[in-house]
Amino acid sequence: MRPGDRGGPYSDYFRALNKALKEHGPMRPVLLIDLDRLDHNIDVVVQSVRRGGKQLRLVEKSLPAPGLLKYIAQRAGTPRLMSFHQPFLNHDAVAFPESDILLGKPLPVRSAELFYRAHKGAFDPVRQLQWLLDGPQRLEQYLALAQGLRTRMRVNIELDVGLHRGGVSDAQALGRMLTLISAHPQHLEFAGFMGYDPFVGMGVPGILGSPEELFARVMVIYQRYVDFTRQQFPALWREGLCLNTAGSPSYRMHEHETLCSEVSVGTAMLKPTHYDLPSLSEHVPAAYIATPVLKSTGAVNIPALDGRSRLFSWWDPNQRQTFFVYGGNWMAEFESPMGLQSNGVYGRSSNQEMVNGSPAVGLGVEDQVFLRPAQTESVLLQFGDLLAVRGGRIVDSWPVYA
């Protein structure tokens, strides 16, 4: 019996996952979604959103598998999505025909044209889609497209509320956009604002202000644009506008403001390592990479050094065992067994990565190494179908976006 079969260095949680993957997994790198932990995170978000009297919009790029999105949307009770990529947008329009979709970034007008050319199904862009636009010039481009397509576009205006990654940053630019929308009601409809403020929850040097101070500044800026629109363009203002804000790091802070109508959350549902933040302390990690050990070769042995490689093992007990895993070099951190590390001298590999540990690690060939992804939006797309697990068992698989 191999150490991994006995349990060895695994906690009960990872021992069960190791057993399930060895018996029923594909024996290649996979991305696991723990449904029990995901349920907990969904419920934390929903409770916060309800306390704040807001709606929840799910960020598709951070949850890039239709099955995963559907699962979260059903438990959270929301039809609202935020999309960032034209091919995904076309897929969403088919997979979620009843959804309300807000673009999360301004797309080149050519991307919008391609969306309309490829669009099919019951989803109605005139009612259900909001294009996020960041300035008068891009709005003019979209107006020309709407005129050419003989359609009407809902326009959500991106506000720079302190992130300084583009968007409207002065009343003059906003006035030009609202004037253009007012002049072309047959082709443009004002749908609301989006003010993204993750920096207030990500942690910045204290000299720049506390999270509460930064948040207060964000809301002052947002309120200024709302007041400007209501006063200068009252015909465009109405109940039910989409006043979108937040992001995973900052959504909790919006419980106590009454200006915005909805918050956007994605990555917090799975909590990768980059989101180990005080603002997400109630969330738990719900996504793991698992990859099998292909080879166990003993102490570190560096090419060209040969026998002299023993110095590494003598100096560092965590280099006394060498494993080569299936794949590697992901944006991720080793989670289980504890004490594993990449070898910077040998180098990283996306094919068979060298992983070192102490003799106490106790891994055998075909045992699983578990890692936590650093982010979700790109990492989750690298493994094919996501494997959903519950209670240590594989219960479903979800294809990711193509």
Q: Is the pLDDT of residue 310 over 90?
A: no
pLDDT (0 to 100) of residue 210: 85
Q: Mark whether 251 and 339 lie in a shared domain.
A: no
The answer to whether residue 112 sits within a structural domain is: yes
Q: Which of 267, 294, 325 is the last residue of a domain?
A: 267
Q: Which two tokens stand for residue 303?
A: 């090419």
Tokens of 100: 């309300």
Mean pLDDT, rounded, of the chain: 91
Residues 20 and 140 occupy one common structural domain: no
Examine the domain organization and report whether 210 and 333 are in the same domain. Answer: no
DSSP 8-state class, residue 354: E
**For range 226-237, the mean pLDDT:** 98
Is 273 contained in some domain?
A: no
**What's the whole-number mean pLDDT along residues 218-235?**
97
Of the candidates 224, 239, 267, which is a domain's last residue?
A: 267
Residue 170 and residue 46 in one domain: yes
Same domain flag for 369 and 252? no
Q: Considering the chain, what percentage of its residues have pLDDT values greater than 70?
A: 91
| Mean of pLDDT values over 114-122 | 97
SS3 of the chain = CCHHHHCCCCCHHHHHHHHHHHHHCCCCCEEEEEHHHHHHHHHHHHHHHHHCCCEEEEEHHHCCCHHHHHHHHHHHCCCEEEECCHHHHHHHHHHCCCCEEEECCCCCHHHHHHHHHHCCCCCCHHHHEEEEECCHHHHHHHHHHHHHHCCCEEEEEEECCCCCCCCECCHHHHHHHHHHHHHCCCCEEEEEEEECCCHHHHCCCHHHCCHHHHHHHHHHHHHHHHHHHHHHCCCCCCCCCEEEECCCCCHHHHHHCCCCCEEEECHHHCCCHHHCCHHHCCCCCCEEEEEEEEEEEECCCCCCCHHHHHHHHHHCHHHCEEEEEEECCCCEEEEECCCCEECCCCCCCCCEEEEEECHHHCCCCCCEEEEEECCCCCHHHHCCCEEEEECCEEEEEECCCC
If we measure between CA atoms, which residue out of 258, 246, 262 comes closest to residue 211? 246
Last residue of a domain, one of 233, 267, 301: 267
Looking at residue 319, its pLDDT comes to 60
* End-to-end CA gap in the chain: 41
Mean pLDDT value of segment 371-380 = 96
User: What confidence score (pLDDT) does residue 315 get?
Assistant: 47
Whether residue 290 is contained in a domain is answered as yes
| 279 found inside a domain | no
Question: Could you tell me if 263 and 290 lie in one domain?
Answer: no
Strand positions, DSSP E, 299-361: 321-326, 332-336, 341-342, 352-357
Q: Per-residue pLDDT for 313 more than 60?
A: no
Q: Are residues 39 and 29 in the same domain?
A: no
Residues 302 and 252 in one domain: no
Of 77-91, 204-218, 251-265, 274-288, minimum mean pLDDT range: 204-218
pLDDT digits (tens, 9 = 90+) for 124-144: 999 999 999 999 999 999 999
Q: Is residue 317 predicted with pLDDT exceeding 80?
A: no
pLDDT at 208: 64
- Please give the Cα distance from 20 to 388 (Å, whole number): 12
Decide if 274 is inside a domain.
Answer: no
Report the pLDDT value the prediction gives residue 199, as an integer from 0 to 100: 84
Residue 27 has pLDDT above 80, yes or no: yes
Per the rule left: phi > 0, alpha: psi between -120 and 50, beta: everything else, 335 is alpha
Among 83, 89, 124, 87, residue whose Cα is nearest residue 102: 83
Contact (Cβ atoms closer than 8 angstroms) between residue 222 and residue 160: no
Say whether both 22 and 47 belong to one domain.
no
Per-residue pLDDT at 3 exceeds 50? no
Model pLDDT, residue 152: 98
Q: Is residue 171 part of a domain?
A: yes
Q: What are the Cα distances from residue 19, in Å, to 290, 326, 370, 373?
A: 12, 17, 13, 21
Q: Specify if 157 maps to a domain.
A: yes
The DSSP secondary structure of 13-60, one letter per residue, reads HHHHHHHHHHHHS-SS-EEEEEHHHHHHHHHHHHHHHHHTT-EEEEEG
- As given in the structure block, the two tokens for residue 397 are 């698989």
Q: Which residues pair with 340 in a beta bridge?
A: none
Number of structural domains, the chain?
Answer: 2
**Domain harbouring 223, CATH code:** 3.20.20.10
CA 92 to chain centre: 16
Is residue 277 a part of any domain in this protein? no
Residue 145: give the domain boundaries: 35-267
Are 160 and 297 within one domain? no
Question: What CATH number does residue 322 fall under?
Answer: 2.40.37.20
Instruction: Determine the pLDDT at residue 314.
Output: 41
Same domain assignment for residues 313 and 359: yes
Question: Is the domain of 153 the same as that of 191?
Answer: yes
